Structure 1
Amino acid sequence: MFLHPKWFILAIVVGLYLPVAIDATVLHIAVPTLSQELKAGTSQLLWIIDIYPLLMAGLILVMGALGDKVGYRKLMLMGSIIFGITSVLAALSPTANFLIFSRAILALGASMIMPATLACLRHTFMDEKERNFALGMWVMAGGAGAAFGPLVGGLLLEYFYWGSVFLINVPIVLVVTVCILKYLPKQNFIHEKKLNILDALILITAILLVIYSLKAGLKEFDPQFILLGLIGIVLGFLFVKRQIKSDQPLFDLKLFTSKSVKYGFTISVVAMIALVGFELLISQKLQYVYQFSPLEAGLYILPFMIAVSVGGVISTPLLNKFGAKKVAVFSLILSSVSIYFLSVVNFETEYLFSAFCMILLGLSILCAFLAATSAILSGAPIEQASSAGAIEGMSYELGTGLGVTIFGLMASFFYTKNVDFYHFFSADQLKIAESSIGGTYQVLPNLSAESADLIIKSANSAFVMAHSSILIFSSLILLFLAIFIWIFWRETSTKSLSI
């Protein structure tokens, strides 16, 4: 069975998607390093991480439409070339702002790759059970890439300069690009499909304005930030209105009349928001509070990475047996429980228990994401496979971007509220020190050893409290999502939906 060419195509798809997924989290472990090496402020650090998923969320819809027009093969090629070239630019970034720009172009390439790979699987695997297996491998690659991102980053930061976290993409992309040219079949595509670039720009502008107003407005009240946020919301409504009226929208909103698509999208967005609460801050806690090196921090999270990597093996038979809704609900409940216990565990003295919780989280959250992915693709007709893949990809990236924004702001709020540095710094230094634990470490060289020790103890205590509060909030989000899905999602059958 596995000698059939379609399984080699699956390997190509997984190989191309892997660096895209790794890049979503590889910088999480590098936040302390970037703070020191590029002198990046709190806002710049959030944008370095956030610009990648946010732009992908806006671009991925137009790329799904482009895939329907030119075919997934050409879209995969364009995406891989852009991704490879921009990885080199990101690695050579001299400033934080240049890195933000490079990450934005990386998002362009990644936004082509994600819907193209899903469309490729949808066209290649017509049998539902085989498709669920292929999707399991795709989700596992994405989950494993995102999960192993911190370990990859920690390993490279231990022995090389920070830009190496991007250079590892280049050989992978080169090999996969050659394989695409040689082995992927050409396919029919819709020549008359139009690309509405204006709608894509409206969506991207709406997302960025809302996120910017949240980040800036919650730190410093200013009417202009409220105005920008309102403009973003209005543009969002305008985008939806234009999609409804358009003969050839970026994506067909009628797809959301399918309960499978609608609830699959909801699961992906909300679950990813909650998961970011765990992923974003744990590496900072391990490095700042417990003084782990980047590599040691990555190794500490290894149980979570392994669980995500093997989760696809167990999730596929569960999905085929029980259906998307039951798998999603049960998985979300387990994820909620595991994140709650991670909020109260002492990472330094209770490693075995924290490892168990991370394994449970990795297995359960991957099952939830696979259920969501299967629901979205199975609820869309095959001729709209790229559009369905774009919707699925947008749900992940939108959830990631919102999660980074929400929890980044929450972390800053709780941290600032629980530190008291007034007697140690000047006004300018105080603003930096109170913004984040990374900012605090930036200004420590200006203090005596005794004062620095007091500051570090206060900073660590405040950060632990902030991290615990965020994880509890994440746990509640997942629990409420599970209840919502159980009540409102009425499946037509107990099996995964097929076309």
Structure 2
Amino acid sequence: MLFAIPRRWLVLFAVMLAFLPVVIDMTILHIAMPSLTPALGATGTEVLWIIDIYPLLMAGLLVPMGTLADRVGTRRVLLTGLVVFGVASLLAAFSTTPSMLIGARVLLAMGGSMIMPCVLGVIRKTFEDERERAMALGLWGTVGAAGAAVGPLIGGVLLEHYWWGSVFLINVPIMLVVAPVAYALLPRLEDTTPGKWALGQALILLVGIIAVVYGIKSGVGAGQPLWRVGLVLSLGLAMLAWFTRIQLRSAMPMLDLSLFRHPAIVAGMVMALVASGALAGVELTLAQELQYVLDKTPLQAGVFMVPIMAAAAVGGPVAGDLSNRFGLRLVASMSMALAAASLAYLAHADLQAPGWPVPSALVVLGLTLSIGLTASSIAIMGAVDASKGGAAGALEATGYELGSGLGITLFGVFMTSVYTRTIVLPPHLESALGAQATRSISDSIVVAQRLDAAQADVLITAAKAAFSTTHSILLTAAAMLIALLSVAVFLMLGSHPGKRGAHG
């Protein structure tokens, strides 16, 4: 019976439901962009802002909202976030202009930044037993990994039958169910951190993070003038330095910087940043390879990724159990090493080859990355008191957001660079068309539509060959990066207490 289940596990169920739409929203929009761009008449710049405004604001708001939750209570902030996210989803679904959709995405980011750190904070406060907490974080990791992976599949299914706004509208009924359940289950009394929440400090941190991330993305990804990039980055770094100085001098800082003295927290942050960045870049690369080179529809591409989703769904609980059995250090480092091996194989595998090797590699990738990311949560949450769970959860979520956003940017730039150098253009192609065709495979396809049939076939064939080479180089680079991460995590967790045999 339902009421025989201990209340803490029902609380976990409620906050996992709250978290699901937030992670799905991170990836579902990429599938919808080709449909909503012509529907709203969005320019290239507006498309970039529609995509980027969500992770940009999330990255800047997570820490302030996490510390706010520690001050006033996670229940209050979480419930507010659920309402904001639901309303914003409704506005986004029925947006009639790019500006309206950008505004709705701003509200989505505000709601999401309230929900994400509170979910982790609630788990930290609800589960005091370390073994139970590891399993709870494992189940949470399942929702995070599987939700992000299943986003494109859900988007593909919805776009097969409905208009682009359905990818946002799906959040509304979920929030209508989750909000009352969370209201009923979450405890009204909870430990909080004393002191006032400093709005001014929150704004300084918000401006600093957004300026730094935007400076990196515009400089590396958009090719903005060097002086402008330098100015934005300087502003961001100055604001972050100012924020740090305030925290170090304050008797009751907004963010306790002593958290970074814990090797487990630093290791968890590095894992969240690098692994989520590599995963986002790999998903972007595979999605384009499947659709542009192998001519699969968005739905078919989503189905192809099912092994990753299925494996990610079980990776979280497996991580909790393995960490209790063998220790966090071994589990975290080995999961990253195996993920690197699977990526190295996929870099040179024929994705259309029959048989089990490619699906098996996808299963290993989804399972090990899910285990690794859950291990980062266990490391971070196990290193703090319950009263600081919101701040620690915010730091981890910031690592995910920064990693995903910068990962897509850096992979995109790397992809463009390799593709430009690799593609062999057909002879006698106009210089202006040739310059456009070398930017990306999507530009090559646009150019091909303006050519005669014979020349178009040559260009499309060259574009597919160039992108396949690009895909192999990118996945190899990601494999090397995650292999280095496995070594770094093993070294950083050397003093972590969660070794085999701990906790009984």
Q: TM-score, normalised by structure 2?
A: 0.91
Structure 2 residue runs without a partner (length 5+): none
* Residue 14 (structure 1) aligns with: 16
Q: Quick one: distance in 2 between partners of 1:42 and 1:341?
A: 35
CA offsets, 1:98-119, max 9 Å, x none? 4344323211111100111111
Q: How does 1:320-359 map to 2 (within 5 A)?
A: 320-350=324-354, 352-359=356-363
1:45 to 1:440, Cα distance in 2 relative to 1, 3 A: farther
Alpha-carbon distance in 2 for matches of 1:2, 1:289: 52
Q: Which moved more, 1:293-302 or 1:340-349?
A: 340-349
1:281 aligns with 2:282: no
The answer to whether structure 1 residue 55 and structure 2 residue 67 are counterparts is: no
Give the stretch that moved more between structures: 44-53 or 225-234: 44-53
The equivalent residue for 1:242 is: 246
AA in 2 matched with 1:14? M
The letter of the residue matching 1:89 is: L
Cα deviation digits, residues 66-103 of structure 1 (max 9, x gap):
11122111111111111111112222334555434432
Question: How far, CA to CA, are the matches of 1:168 and 1:424 in structure 2?
Answer: 46
Partner Cα distance (2:41, 2:466) in 1 = 22
Counterpart for residue 115 of structure 1 = 117
Asked if 1:309 corresponds to 2:313, the answer is: yes
What's 2:408 paired with?
A: 404
Does the residue aligned with 1:446 lie in a helix, a strand or coil? coil
State how far apart, in whole Å, the 1-side matches of 2:8 and 2:484 are. Answer: 39
* Superimposed CA distance per residue, residues 429-468 of structure 1 (whole angstroms, 9 cap, x where no aligned partner): 6665443333343454433333332222222222222222
Deviation, 1:204, is 3.0
DSSP-derived class of the 1:93 partner:
coil
What is the CA–CA distance in structure 2 between the aligned matches of 1:74 and 1:290, rounded to whole Å? 48
Give, as a single letter, the amino acid of the residue that structure 2 aligns with 1:398: L
> Is the 1:65–1:193 Cα contact (8 Å) retained in structure 2?
no
Identity among equivalent positions (%) equals: 39
One-letter identity of the residue aligned with 1:119: G
AA in 2 matched with 1:407: F
1:27 aligns with 2:29: yes
**Which position in structure 2 is the counterpart of 1:371?**
375
Residues 214/6 of structure 1: CA separation in 2 closer, same or farther (3 Å cut):
closer
State the AA in 2 paired with 1:302.
V
Q: Root-mean-square deviation (CA), in Å?
A: 2.5
Question: In 2, Cα distance between the equivalents of 1:55 and 1:334?
Answer: 33
1:343-393 per-position Cα deviation (integer Å, ceiling 9, x unaligned): 111212256322111100111111111111011011011111111111121
Amino acid at match of 2:358: S
Q: Is the 8 A contact 1:28 1:279 kept in 2?
A: no
Secondary structure at the aligned position of 1:126 is classed as: coil
Aligned match of 1:183? 185
The farther-off stretch of 182-191 and 50-59 is: 182-191
The reply to whether residue 74 of structure 1 matches residue 76 of structure 2 is yes
1:417 paired with 2:457, answer no
- CA gap 1:96/1:413 in 2 versus in 1, 3 angstroms: farther
| Counterpart Cα distance in 2 of 1:453 and 1:483 | 46
Which deviations, in whole Å up to 9, do the C-alpha atoms of 1:455-490 show, x marking residues without a partner?
222222222222222211111111111111222332
Count of aligned pairs between the two proteins: 497
Aligned match of 2:5: 3
- Partners of 1:198 and 1:425 in 2: CA distance: 55
Equivalent pair of 1:325/1:491 in contact (CA under 8 Å):
no
Cα 1:478–1:79, aligned 2, differ >3 Å: closer, same or farther?
Answer: same
Match of 2:478, as an amino acid?
S
Which residue of 1 is the match for residue 464 of structure 2?
Answer: 460
Per-residue deviation at 1:201? 2.8
Aligned to 2:31, what secondary structure does the other structure show? coil
Quick one: distance in 2 between partners of 1:95 and 1:465?
A: 38
Asked whether the 8 Å contact 1:70–1:189 carries over to 2, the reply is: no
SS at match of 1:29: helix
User: Aligned in 2, Cα 1:443/1:173: closer, same or farther, shift over 3 Å?
Assistant: farther
Any unmatched runs of 5+ in structure 1?
none
Residue number among 293, 298, 312 corresponding to 2:297 in the alignment: 293
- Name the structure 1 match of 2:132: 130
1:45-85 CA-to-partner distances (Å, cap 9, x unmatched) read 55444432332121011111111122111111111111111
Give the SS at the match of 2:350: coil
What is the distance in 2 between the residues matched to 1:37 and 1:407? Answer: 28
CA spacing shift, 1:467–1:91, aligned 2, 3 Å: farther
> CA–CA distance in 1 between the matches of 2:419 and 2:354?
24
Determine the C-alpha separation between the residues in 1 that align with 2:417 and 2:106.
Answer: 27
Residue 308 (structure 1) shift: 0.3
